[in-house]
Amino acid sequence: MQYKKIIPLLNIEGEISENIIRQARTYTDQGADELLIYNFSKDEESQEELLKLCKKIVRSIDIPIIIGCCVKNFEDAKKALYTGASSILLSHKLLDKPDLVKEISNRFGAEKIYLAIEQSLYMSKDRIDQECRDLGIGGLVINCTDASESFTYSLSKLSIPVIIRNSLLDNDIKDLLELPSIVGITTDFFMNKDIMKVKQALKQEKILVNVYESKLLFSEFKLNKDGLIPVITQDYKTGEVLMLAYMNEEAYNRTITQGKMTYFSRSRNALWLKGETSGNIQYLKEIYLDCDNDTLLAKVIPSGPACHTGSKSCFSNSLLEREYKQTNTYNILKDVYDLITDRKNNPKEGSYTNYLFDKGIDKILKKCGEEAAEIIIAAKNPEMGELRYEIADFLYHLMVLMVESGLDWEDITTELADRK
């Protein structure tokens, strides 16, 4: 389903990195669909700063980002997309370098490439959409200064997706999003505004936007004698159970509409927006209903502790436990990675891991190559025990390489997630 997107615009030139990351998170929590982060400065220091910042932002949020930067060669484009950005915004000046644009497109795909173009230049060009298709450009980002009738008419004739860049001070977002070729609006208008509220208003105007919609009416749930349904709240990234609370129909509907967890307080007999006083708001990601229709599971982004004691989870008091073998795949990989990192930061005499770090990158690469070859040999053996052993060896040496190179499992899993 093709939703119309709201894409906040972040120009990082001259800005403090921490402020940009904080704003990116805020936009994400408030309902943005993507972010456009750019700095078209030509100096290398500014470009390196942009790349580092985008890597941090990609790891901090869970919506796609478009990166806009000065691209002089293929290597510049590769570095930009290797930040984890979903797509790259190229300057219209690259229309004069068709071979470079085609090289980028052939390597990464047209859907990952947007062309930034001013409205005046767009209006003066014939068949700009065909030119973009010939070069392998997947879409346009048009800086619209005047949504005149002739301009909007020309947009309606385009066969290529368009994102409109507009301040929205003089134009109605609804009028722009109603145009069939427009897939989104990018703007800085939504700074300190509730984007989810705007999207709800657009929904009422029959604009197809990405908002929460319940597949069942609240009346179809099995409620307790007080007309409430229990809600288990879980951190959507870690899977950690944060708290148990209750909802009535109004709390459920507000949660869906606002995208923020709202409960019903039985002690106060009133609605309770989690974090309204503490600031520890829980931003909704998903809600599941159990097989008996009598319990909800909400997956959220917590912006702070769930518990009034300051603990991340209300379930922090252990009652009983015994030793058991940890089998959570990601946790095991992370634990081994963390141990390797600790060895690098706190060397231990006689440690094989420290031996590898002391010998340096060439030795680590040599071991990775040797272990990869061992996997190939083991795979020819019908007994899979040897292959399992060799794969484990390879993964260990691979993690040593990752630590040495400054990568972690979050980088790898984010890249894999983007590819799906």
- CATH number of 377's domain: 1.10.287.1080
CATH of the domain at 284: 3.10.20.810
* CB-based contact 33:63 (threshold 8 Å): yes
Residues 218-232 have pLDDT tens digits of 999 999 999 999 999
Q: Are residues 222 and 355 in the same domain?
A: no
pLDDT at 415: 80
**pLDDT tens for residues 7-25?**
999 999 989 999 999 999 9
Please tell me whether residues 169 and 239 are part of one structural domain. no
Does residue 400 form part of some domain? yes
Q: Are residues 84 and 200 in the same domain?
A: yes
The token duo for 419 is: 């590819």
Confidence at residue 59, expressed as pLDDT on a 0 to 100 scale: 87
313 in a structural domain: no
Assess whether pLDDT exceeds 90 at residue 1.
no
Q: What's the CATH code of the domain at 104?
A: 3.20.20.70
Give Rg (Cα) of the chain: 25
Is 16 part of a structural domain of the chain?
yes
Asked whether residue 340 carries a pLDDT value surpassing 70, the answer given is yes
User: Tell me, what amino acid is at 192?
Assistant: N
Q: Is residue 60 a part of any domain in this protein?
A: yes
Instruction: Please list, in sequence order, all residues whose beta carbon lies within 8 angstroms of the beta carbon of residue 190, skipping any fewer than 6 positions away.
Output: 6, 8, 27, 30, 32, 198
pLDDT for res 197: 94
Asked if residue 372 belongs to a domain, the reply is: yes
- Local confidence band at 416 (pLDDT 50, 70, 90 cut-offs): confident
Question: Is 39 found in the same domain as 180?
Answer: yes
Place of tokens 């340096």: 360
pLDDT confidence tier of residue 327, bands split at 50, 70 and 90:
low
For residue 326, what pLDDT is reported? 63
Is the residue at 309 inside a domain?
no
Both tokens of 240, joined, read: 């950690």
Number of residues in the chain: 420
Q: Is 321 part of any domain?
A: no
For 101, the 3-state DSSP assignment is helix
Answer yes or no: do 58 and 142 share one domain: yes
- The string of pLDDT tens digits covering residues 250-279 is 999 999 999 999 999 999 999 999 999 999
**Residue 213 CB partners (closer than 8 Å, separation 6+):** 256
Cβ atoms of residues 55 and 83 within 8 Å? yes
Q: Does 336 lie in the same domain as 296? A: no
Indicate if the pLDDT at residue 321 is higher than 80. no
| Residue 384 pLDDT grade (very low, low, confident, very high; cuts 50, 70, 90) | confident
322 located within any domain? no
Domain finish residue from 249, 283, 302: 302
**Residue 290 and residue 303: Cα distance in Å, rounded?**
26
Domain end (from 177, 204, 231): 204
Residue 341's alpha-carbon distances to 336, 337, 396, in angstroms, are 9, 6, 12
| 316 CB-near residues (< 8 Å, 6+ apart) | 307, 309
pLDDT confidence bin for 324, thresholds 50/70/90? low
Q: Are residues 13 and 161 in the same domain?
A: yes
Query: Do 50 and 91 reside in the same domain of the chain?
Result: yes
> If pLDDT is split at 50, 70 and 90, which confidence band does 238 have?
confident
Same domain, 252 and 349: no
Q: Answer yes or no: do 187 and 246 share one domain.
A: no
Q: Are residues 345 and 395 in the same domain?
A: yes
- Total count of domains within the chain: 3
Asked if 96 and 124 sit in the same domain, the reply is yes
Q: What is the mean pLDDT of residues 141-156?
A: 89
Q: What range does the domain containing 151 cover?
A: 5-204
